[in-house]
Amino acid sequence: MVQIMFAVSAVRIDADNPLNGLEVGERPDPAAPDGWTTITVKAAALNHHDLWSLRGVGLPAERLPMILGCDAAGVDEQGNEVIVHSVIGDKARGGGDETLDPKRTLLSEKYDGTFAERVAVPAANLVPKPAELSFEEAACLPTAWLTAYSMLFGKAALLPGSTILVQGAGGGVATALIALGSAAGHRVWATSRSEDKRARAVELGADQAFETGARLPERVDAVMESVGEATWAHSLKSLRPGGKVVICGATSGPAPSADLNRVFFTQLQVIGSTMGNREQLAKLASFLVQTGVRPHVDRALPLADARDGFAAMDSGDLFGKIVFNP
């Protein structure tokens, strides 16, 4: 007899109105193949990736229906509290890093995701959840916070005391960058079109916050970029000679002017960054325990009300992370 669970799924692709493809209801329990295990989900966090999936980016129609969600914290089959690392990849193919595996995928792209009562994942993808972190806090880490951790401490490799600019304060990655950068001893500046979000960025740890596109007091060592087309020119102009722009996304569009003359003449470094590996996720969790930094949860909703969370993200009506409780 097939066991049934509650889940949030993509059932059709609609590039213009992504919420049209969202379905909340019953789905069959996951089956764990060899080397995989089943996690009882206690909390799962929403990401822009989930909205893009509903638009058909990385999720073709032939894979539907697909349970959405990359991030989760929960309990494994032995009763251990765990965080789910959502990158499904082969470290050997990636030269020791699963995020560099050309065949890598994320939960909810090829395999059902975490917006459900239970999820099947490779056993090797589990990281122990520190007791100091709540399930909701831990669920925020695997995508947005891990991405920010990898950008700051892996790709940018900045020394404490550096000045960094975070574009687009308000989203999950941006708020994580502000909190982590401040805790690590960087001077953090942030931008936003919203006066309220600028004020909240300062409360979160930013030294100053500016209107999007504003001239800065001085040029910065690195820019953390996830907005893309709308802020790219400002990001390059804000860098000191030899500075770095680390980009993990392009929510406003992927094709700005490259401004190659500026890049080569001032010897800028443009560095791409996608997620982070399992070891970095474990270190991120330890970093939060040691520093007392915690993810900012904008709102926690029952999984049954997931549509409200998707709508808030689609409209930009959030500051920090939206978390679902199955």
**Cα separation, 185 vs 210, whole angstroms:** 20
pLDDT exceeds cutoff 80 at 171: yes
Q: Residue 37: how many CA atoms within 13 Å on its side-chain side?
A: 17
What is the chain's mean pLDDT, rounded?
96
Cβ atoms of 147 and 276 within 8 Å: the answer is yes
Residue 104: what pLDDT? 96
pLDDT digits (tens, 9 = 90+) for 12-57: 999 999 999 999 999 999 999 999 999 999 999 999 999 999 999 9
pLDDT digits (tens, 9 = 90+) for 281-325: 999 999 999 999 999 999 999 999 999 999 999 998 899 999 999
Return the structure tokens found at 288.
């939060």
Residue 1: what pLDDT? 62
Residue type, position 83, single letter: I
Nearest 5°: the CA angle 216, 229, 206 is 35
Q: What is the dihedral of CA 225, 18, 9, 101, to 10 degrees?
A: -40
CATH class, domain 4-140+295-325, is alpha beta
Where do the domains of the chain lie?
4-140+295-325, 145-272
pLDDT exceeds cutoff 90 at 79: yes
Q: Which residues on neighbouring strands pair with residue 107, listed in sequence order?
A: 111
Q: Which residues on neighbouring strands pair with residue 322, listed in sequence order?
A: 299
Same CATH fold assignment for domains 4-140+295-325 and 145-272: yes
Residue 110: what pLDDT? 96
Read off the pTM.
0.95
Residue type, position 280, single letter: Q
Phi, psi of 236 (to 5 degrees): -65, -40
**Cα separation, 70 vs 112, whole angstroms:** 9
CATH number of 145-272: 3.90.180.10
Residue that wins the pLDDT comparison between 121 and 170: 121
pLDDT exceeds cutoff 80 at 2: no
pLDDT exceeds cutoff 80 at 139: yes
Q: Where are the alpha helices (DSSP H) in the chain?
A: 48-54, 135-139, 146-149, 172-183, 195-204, 232-237, 260-265, 278-291, 306-315
Residue that wins the pLDDT comparison between 3 and 26: 26
pLDDT exceeds cutoff 90 at 167: yes
Antiparallel, parallel or unpaired: β 239-247 and 66-67: unpaired
**Cα separation, 110 vs 178, whole angstroms:** 32
pLDDT digits (tens, 9 = 90+) for 183-242: 999 999 999 999 999 999 999 999 999 999 999 999 999 999 999 899 999 999 999 999
Residue 202: what pLDDT? 97
Sheet bearing 66-67, strands edge to edge: 22-28, 4-10, 66-67
**Cα separation, 68 vs 304, whole angstroms:** 13
What CA–CA distances, in Å, run from 18 to 22, 107, 172, 264? Answer: 7, 19, 20, 39
The residue with tokens 């994580």 is: 176
